[in-house]
Structure 1
Amino acid sequence: MTTSPFDPQSELNENVRSRFYIRGDWVLPNSTGTVSIVSPTTEQPFLSVPLANHRDVDAAVLAARKAFDTGPWPRMSAEERSVYLRRMSTAIASRLPLLSRLWTAEVGAPLWFANMFTPTATAMLDYYAELSTSFAFEERRSTRGGHARIVRQPVGVTGLIAPWNAQLPILAYKLGAALAAGCTVVVKAPPETPLDALVVAECAHEAGLPPGVLNVITADADCGAYLVAKSEVDKISFTGSTATGKIIAKSCAERTARVTLELGGKSAAIVLEDAGLESTLAALAPFTMPFSGQICFAQTRILVPRSREREFVEAYSAAIAALKVGDPWEATTQIGPLANRRQFERVLRYIDVGLSDGAQITTGGTAGDHRDVGFFIEPTVFSGVTPAMTIAREEIFGPVVAVMAYDDVNQAIAIANDTDFGLSGSVFTNDVERGYDVARRIRAGNVSVNGLEMSPNVPFGGFKQSGIGREGGPEGLSAFLEDQAIYMPSELQSAKQV
């Protein structure tokens, strides 16, 4: 049995292990409920933490409401708030090794993956700290009677709900923009990965954030629904499943609350006829099943010319089969376990469905990494997949990729767009301008040519059932603002009043 090198008792502050962060202080929960964090590598619990009840949610929302209505945060200048963001970023940067280890301990992200993506948190805070100093929070427009001042006000109290799979980076997207806008925040951390947000709260406290600006609780779906429905919360920003997103959208619509949703994906990579095999595989393979496929933007459908189908399937399957599956704490491991038993059983069911529908497995397809414990599934590639098959239509959220053949580029685009989702996509070609033309026709919020990239200054979000609104870039900041128009008289009219 693998023993995790992570020791929560020595590496985490007692406050992080046993309390919530509310009103700028570490407070004991009102609830007696707890949740055990289970290692996906050993299947053994390694820490028990408090789980909020409705009274804890009420306390966090009340603190955020008071901080917004009467506190200094919304009334500070953007430059003043940016100082706090930079301080938070510095505090998080000092804890990046810890936060990487948390990602591996809680959900089995391989160390190389965690180390690569935890710095996203500091990059997002730094970006919004810088953007807020130049963003047009106020502008003037001429009118017939004088001019109007367009003031972009913070939306108010915001509930931030990030998923278990990438808690820290996704929370940073939301938190950086919300704080830069002048909002106050309640973070609902998921029971599967509660520790990341609490460490961020520790960083906010170190940075001197005013009391009530950031509040963090760990809560289940019931308390999450309670938070979403509270009239004192002006906006919800949610990342997670499409099914849950629809429930949240309905709840927000009933009280006309603002909402941003970043939901599921079934992204397609289109390999054009002229694409070089070696360069395409080098760029594509890491993004088809990163973190065992438990990333919303994973390129889980690969569309290849029928004339090159056999060549591509053989080469891609060999590349995937060569990935090392094993202990995520080992530096050479490329594919770790699924995050939990629920995900493990879900992915195995989809593999069975793919076989039942007539697709063929070219590599993988079974559980385990030659050990008797852990939620491991071999990276799996299906060929002979048609657009109507379940594995081509539903988000599996595991290390499973479907290769599909097309006859011409118009058919490839039609297949790529034949989905309820529209989050991500990619195009591979030797002619990048042709790749751009194809990318323009893909109905997805983020499409890359010859690779896959995400940047803090670029909006991220989806078309169709992949969500509403955008995170990242100026667009992400605007999502936490309300536009107010104040009409002002002309100078001549003002003079007449004197």
Structure 2
Amino acid sequence: MFDPGSEITSHVRDRFYINGEWIRAHSSERSVLVSPDTELKFIDAPLADQVDVDRAVAAARNAFDSGPWPGLAPAQRAVHLRALAVELRRRLPLFSRLWTAQVGAPVSFANLFVGVAPAMFDYYADLLETYAFEDRRKTAYGHAQVIREPVGVAALIAPWNATLPILSYKLAAALAAGCTTVVKSSPETPLDLLLLAECAEAVGIPPGVVNVITADREAGAYLVAQRGIDKVSFTGSTAAGKQIARVCIDRMARFTLELGGKSAAILLDDVDLATILGGLAPFTMPFSGQICFAQTRIIAPRKRLDEIVQAYAGAMSGLVVGDPWSEATHLGPLSSARQLDRTIGYVERAVAEGARLVTGGKRSGHLDRGYYFQPTVFADVTADMTIAREEVFGPVVSVIAYDDVEDAIRLANDSDFGLSGTVFSSDPERGYQVARRIKTGNIGVNGLEMAPNIPFGGYKQSGVGREGGPEGLEAFLETKAVYRIGVA
């Protein structure tokens, strides 16, 4: 179990980090954290109001306009990023425990993915040593210097489900670009990013460059609307992303949005089920399905449908659902009572619309408390059903039958989203050719991987822009052309 009193400092428990100082919140409002495996309160944390937001924005604005960070040479910023990676790596066990304590991520899952954070800072430190922030181009009357400059003050808004890994994509790129930042934590997971602020303080990131607050939706909307914010990077729901885009467009602030998904795993008719199940299963219900890239639609050949449904449902029903602190657990609890109720509602609607429940479909009966839900598989699902179109964010997967490859591609693309996807085939080249035709930002052949040097983001309502890779750095840069007439 997790003990906030002994495992994290009073700063992380009860303060915000603004302008290099740990300050008390102006507001008396608190976010109450309930353990998803015990349903008991284990800590509360301060919430920001408009005064706190104003303080954080002013600190970041001053640090950008008058501070040293934007003017540092890229190699100098790289030194800071590498130091931050070292400090994050030193504290990874604690970051992992925070993930499990706040939202119930199984320790095996948390330990596996928490390392994304230092890897992102190391990647951008390396990129800073080779990236061309300036180049010279000949013109008819002389030449031009094309200069890439930091966009300014960036508001970085992280979701509750994978707070540290997702924020690391944003913060590492923003700092590499020379931006200063206001980091907003979700009320459900206030602790991760304040611990990250301790890391930034420990390695000497200048005051005002990284400011961390925890805010609810109202204060978050106030942050996005501030004229002192030049760029917003948001990960979360499509509905919230659309609202953020409207606010940013109104004053032409830059924005990057990484939003929802309803990704498809296409099983071509030549797949060897015994071989692919090990690669397919982990990406269909990771973290009880509470990850945007979850492959929640399995597109299966009709002539092998019964075989695939039986094999996949058997694999899912064999997963261990239980204590997230146990290394043997595959699926822990859902993050909250709200997420549990949401999942139950989608299951009930799927049954009402005619989908066939193959396995799961209810709370885990062997546990007397906690927001646990059984791994759930539906068959006889059609593309027009709610369960096939909307993001559940629970351990629920739909199997949809196709007649031929063209039909499989049509079904995979018949979605408002386009974030991730996979194609499984005994012929990797055949799988690759199908993958090229899927309208999605990321897709794997015979598996899925996320790497720091590869851009991540979505088509359609899955978002705007990319994070990771050089593309992620460029999202925090503006381009200026300076013509030098008469200078060869």
| TM-score computed with the length of structure 2 as normaliser | 0.99
Which residue in 1 is equivalent to 2:125? 129
| 3-state secondary structure, aligned to 2:288 | helix
CA contact (8 A) 1:368 1:374 kept: no
Q: Does structure 2 retain, via aligned residues, the 8 Å contact 1:21–1:217?
A: yes
Letter paired with 2:36: P
Query: In 2, Cα distance between the equivalents of 1:47 and 1:134?
Result: 45
Quote the Cα distance in structure 2 between the aligned partners of 1:180 and 1:309: 49
- 1:314 maps to 2:310: yes
Structure 1, 27-36 or 466-475: larger mean CA deviation? 27-36
Counterpart amino acid of residue 148 in structure 2 = R
1:18-61 deviations in Å (ceiling 9; x for gaps): 10000011111111111111100001111111111100000000
Question: Given the alignment of the two structures, is residue 275 of structure 1 paired with residue 271 of structure 2, yes or no?
Answer: yes
Q: Does 1:434 align with 2:395?
A: no
* SS of alignment partner, residue 421 of structure 2: strand
Shift of 1:420: 0.3
**1:425–1:447 Cα contact (<8 Å) kept:** yes
2:342 paired with 1:377: no
Further displaced range: 366-375 or 61-70: 366-375
Question: 8 Å contact 1:357–1:389 — kept in the other structure?
Answer: yes
d(CA) in 1 for partners of 2:367, 2:448 = 33
CA shift at 1:369, angstroms?
4.5
1:327-364 CA-to-partner distances (Å, cap 9, x unmatched) read 00011000000000111000000000010011111110
- 2:22 corresponding residue in structure 1: 26
| Aligned twin of 2:169 | 173
1:446 is paired with a residue whose SS is: coil
- Kindly report which structure 2 residues correspond to 1:202-241, keeping only aligned pairs within 5 A, or say none: 202-241=198-237
State the shift of 1:371 in Å.
1.8
Q: Distance in 2 between matches of 1:324 and 1:261?
A: 34
Q: Which residue matches 2:194?
A: 198
Instruction: Tell me which residue corresponds to 2:150.
Output: 154
Cα distance in structure 2, aligned partners of 1:31 and 1:82? 36
In structure 1, the partner of 2:185 is 189
Q: Indicate the SS of the match to 1:405.
A: strand
Q: Write out per-residue CA displacement over residues 227-251 of structure 1, whole angstroms, 9 at most, x where no aligned residue.
A: 0000110000000000000000001
Deviates more, 1:34-43 or 1:172-181: 34-43
Which string of whole-angstrom CA distances, capped at 9 and with x for unpartnered residues, describes residues 139-183 of structure 1?
A: 111111111111000000000001000000000000000000000
Alignment partner, residue 341 of structure 1: 337
2:11 to 12, 15, 39: 15
Residue in structure 1 matched with residue 421 of structure 2 by the alignment: 425
SS in 2 for 1:85: helix
CA distance in 2, matches of 1:139, 1:229: 34
C-alpha distance in 1 between matches for 2:10 and 2:487: 61
Q: Does 1:97 align with 2:93?
A: yes
The question of whether the paired residues in 2 share the 8 Å contact of 1:30 and 1:52 is answered with yes
- Separation in 1, partners of 2:3, 2:487: 67
Give the alignment partner of residue 78 of structure 1, picking from 55, 74, 79: 74
Could you tell me which residue of structure 1 aligns to residue 55 of structure 2? 59
Q: Which residue of 2 aligns with 1:111?
A: 107
Instruction: Give the C-alpha shift of residue 368 in structure 1.
Output: 2.3
SS state at 1:251 partner: helix
CA contact (8 A) 1:91 1:203 kept: yes
Report how far residue 104 of structure 1 moved.
0.3
Distance 2:112 2:222 in 1: 35
1:76 partner amino acid: L
Cα distance in 2 for partners of 1:241, 1:369 equals 30
2: CA distance, partners of 1:196 / 1:361? 37
Report the Cα distance in structure 2 between the residues aligned to 1:317 and 1:435, rounded to whole angstroms. Answer: 23
Q: Which amino acid aligns with 1:80?
A: Q
- 1:243 match: secondary structure: helix
DSSP 3-state at the match of 1:331: coil
1:110 deviation in Å?
0.3
Q: Aligned partners of 1:369, 1:170: CA distance in 2, in Å?
A: 33
| Cα contact 1:326–1:369 (8 A) shared by 2 | no
Cα contact 1:23–1:60 (8 A) shared by 2: yes
Instruction: Return the letter of the residue paired with 1:201.
Output: A
Matched with 1:266 is 262
Output one character per residue of 1:241-269: Cα deviation in whole Å (capped at 9) or x when no partner.
Answer: 00000000001011110000000000000
Contact 1:16–1:198 (Cα < 8 Å) also in 2 = yes
Counterpart residue number, 2:299: 303
Q: Give the match for residue 495 of structure 1.
A: none
Matched AA of 1:289: M
Greater Cα offset, 149-158 or 361-370: 361-370
Shift of 1:135: 0.6
Q: Secondary structure at the match of 2:457?
A: coil
| Structure 1 alignment gaps of length 5 or more | 493-498
Match of 2:252 in 1: 256
Query: Conserved in 2, the CA contact under 8 Å of 1:268 and 1:424?
Result: yes
CA RMSD of aligned residues (A): 0.7
Q: Which runs of 4+ in 1 moved over 4 A?
A: none
Q: Given the alignment, which residue of 413, 416, 420 partners 2:412?
A: 416
Q: CA deviation at 1:278?
A: 0.9
Look up the SS of the partner of 2:361 in the other structure. coil
TM-score, structure 1 normalization: 0.97
Deviation sequence 1:193-235 (CA, Å, 0-9, x none): 0100000000000010000000000000000000000011000
Q: Mapping of 1:331-480 within 5 angstroms?
A: 331-480=327-476
Instruction: State how far apart, in whole Å, the 2-side matches of 1:480 and 1:259 are.
Output: 9
Q: Which residue of 2 aligns with 1:285?
A: 281
Could you tell me whether the CA contact under 8 Å between 2:143 and 2:487 is conserved in 1?
A: no
Q: Distance in 1 between matches of 2:29 and 2:290?
A: 28
Identical amino acids, percent of aligned pairs = 61
Whole-Å separation in 1 of the counterparts to 2:449 and 2:395: 20
Deviation, 1:490, is: 3.5
Amino acid at match of 1:269: A
Whole-angstrom CA distance in 2 between matches of 1:328 and 1:490: 68
Aligned length: 488
Task: Give the AA of the match of 1:116.
Answer: L
